[in-house]
């Protein structure tokens, strides 16, 4: 389970430390979304802290409950990189952009951002420290993974209502069999990533 060792080593709670994570690098549609979370100086309520884990390990209902609790007691920033940006600068650079925007969206600038992954975004508004497997090690990164996942899932459900048939409320834009069949049947929407192979193939077939 994630803990506070990395935050304490960085000087928290005296020093403001943000955990940063993203969701949505792999889907064929929708933006990449990142979140930055600074835990409260007094600490999280025990029942919340004990439930936080890598968002991929949690059921949807618990993720939503935890996201609401995190928003209520933590400083939270959310950043996105849109489909046009993903296609223009590639998914890695768009992910970095979303992370930098999430940190910039915090109510106050942190002294350090713990970044899930092996590289830091180049345009962070503060010092960054990459943490491999961060959502399994750091409580603030795990909290950020939950917030980002819930935010993106809600966004994709909304886009799914505007573009029915692709199953985005269930697959969040990932390339499931249902989504790929819909691409062939219904075509490419403005929310599809044209630089991703299944989408670009479908565009070439449609010409």
Cut 0.85: pTM above it: yes
Q: Binning pLDDT at 50, 70 and 90, where does residue 206 land?
A: confident
61 or 205: whose pLDDT is higher?
61
Q: How many residues does the chain have?
A: 207
Residue-wise pLDDT tens digits, 117-167: 999 999 999 999 999 999 999 999 999 999 999 999 999 999 999 999 999
Mean pLDDT confidence for 72-92: 98
Backbone angles phi, psi at 92, to 5 degrees: -65, -50
Model confidence pLDDT, tens digit, residues 185-205: 999 999 999 999 999 999 998
Half-sphere exposure of 137 (CA within 13 A, CB side): 15
Cα 34 from Cα 20, distance rounded (Å): 7
Q: Provide the token pair at 28.
A: 């064929």
- The DSSP line for 141-197 is HHHHHHHHHHHHHHHHHHHHHHSTTS-HHHHTT---HHHHHHHHHH---TTB-TTSH
Residue 207: band (very low, low, confident or very high) from pLDDT cuts 50, 70, 90: low
Please give the domain boundaries of the chain with CATH numbers for all domains. 5-206 (3.30.420.10)
Structure tokens at 145: 């993974």
């Amino acid at each position: 389970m994630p803990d506070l060792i990395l935050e304490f080593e960085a000087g928290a709670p005296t020093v403001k430390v943000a955990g940063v994570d993203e969701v949505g690098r792999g889907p064929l549609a929708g933006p990449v979304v990142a979140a930055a979370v600074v835990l409260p100086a007094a600490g999280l309520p025990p029942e919340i802290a004990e439930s936080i884990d890598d968002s991929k390990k949690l059921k949807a209902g618990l993720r939503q409950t935890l996201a609401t609790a995190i928003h209520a007691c933590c400083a939270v920033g959310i950043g996105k990189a849109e489909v046009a940006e993903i296609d223009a600068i590639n998914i890695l650079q768009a992910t970095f952009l979303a992370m930098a925007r999430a940190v910039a969206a915090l109510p106050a600038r942190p002294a350090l951002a713990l970044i899930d992954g092996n590289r830091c975004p180049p345009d962070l508004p503060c010092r960054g420290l990459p943490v491999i497997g961060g959502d399994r090690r750091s409580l603030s990164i795990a909290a950020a993974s939950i917030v980002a996942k819930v935010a993106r899932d809600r966004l994709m459900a909304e886009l799914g209502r505007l573009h029915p048939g692709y199953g985005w409320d269930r697959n969040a834009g990932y390339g499931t069999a249902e989504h790929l069949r819909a691409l062939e049947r219904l075509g490419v929407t403005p929310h599809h990533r044209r630089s991703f192979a299944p989408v670009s193939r479908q565009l070439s077939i449609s010409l």
